[in-house]
Structure 1
Amino acid sequence: MIPPAAVCSTAARNRGRTRDPCSFQPGAVAPMHHHVEQQIAIALSGELTFTAGGETRVMHAGDCVVIPPHVEHGGAAGPEGCNALDVFTPPRAGILELPAS
């Protein structure tokens, strides 16, 4: 069985950035990818094993990572899942164009 993906709610654009709250089900995988925007990922609850620029760390509530533009990154939720907040600057147009879950 393929682990479920993250469910991200409707993103909000404000003052030159995009805020995107995400809920990862247990074992959900965020595939490795990169984009032109800087991303700040903040773990709100649960556990997220996150890789950015070839370095892997386990994030818990309150931990954050700053990912510069074009740096490959991705991760996987722990056994309890994870809630996170992603902030992109400049605003990430592709996210705003996705339909709400």
Structure 2
Amino acid sequence: MEKKHENTVWVPHAETLPEPAGPGVTRRVLAYNQGLMCVENTFEKGAVGALHSHPHTQITYVVSGRFRFTIGGEVREVTAGDTMLKTDGIIHGCEALEPGVLLDIFTPMREDFV
């Protein structure tokens, strides 16, 4: 399985490399180019995405599960189908209240993920 599939038109899930992204969290880098990146994050119940910020705008789509998100000091619970916009530099993080999957879209792409 290859992680570096920049500018690849077709990126089958089975050909992406799962990697640890913290206790109870697995990350898969999906399709991407220099301007845009799609990343799947799978969380076990109780897993935490620590508060952080980065110079990327990020949209998160909740594929499954229930999460408690903090974005810019505001805390809300979200479930499947919800989306969140995190502008570059805003402090954000989450906790999985049950097992779930988040799909993150970053612009520009996260070079630190490849």
Report the TM-score, using the length of structure 2 for normalisation.
0.76
- 2: CA distance, partners of 1:14 / 1:61: 27
2:88 maps to what in 1? 69
Taking the aligned partners of 1:89 and 1:40, their CA distance within structure 2 comes to: 9
Whether the aligned pair in 1 keeps the contact of 2:34 and 2:108 (CA below 8 Å) is no
Q: How does 1:42-53 map to 2 (within 5 A)?
A: 42-53=61-72
Give, as a single letter, the amino acid of the residue that structure 2 aligns with 1:28: A
SS at match of 2:45: coil
SS at match of 2:81: coil
- Superposition deviation, residue 51 in structure 1: 0.4
Relative to its length, the structure with more strand (as a share) is 1
Structure 1 gap ranges (5+): 97-101
Amino acid in structure 2 at the alignment position of 1:94:
D
**Shift in Å, 1:65:** 0.4
In structure 2, the residue matched to 1:99 is none
> Number of matched residues?
93
Distance 2:23 2:44 in 1: 6
Question: How far is the alpha carbon of 1:15 from its aligned partner?
Answer: 7.1
Matches within 5 A, 1:1-101: 4-14=23-33, 16-78=35-97, 80-96=98-114
RMSD: 1.6
* TM-score, with structure 1 as normaliser: 0.85
- Aligned AA for 1:21? E
Cα displacement (A) at 1:81: 1.2
Aligned sequence identity (%): 35
SS at match of 1:10: strand
Counterpart secondary structure, 2:99: strand
Consecutive unaligned residues in structure 2, runs of 5 or more: 1-21
CA distance in 2, matches of 1:13, 1:82: 23
Q: Aligned-pair distance for 1:12? A: 2.5
Q: Distance in 1 between matches of 2:92 and 2:34?
A: 25
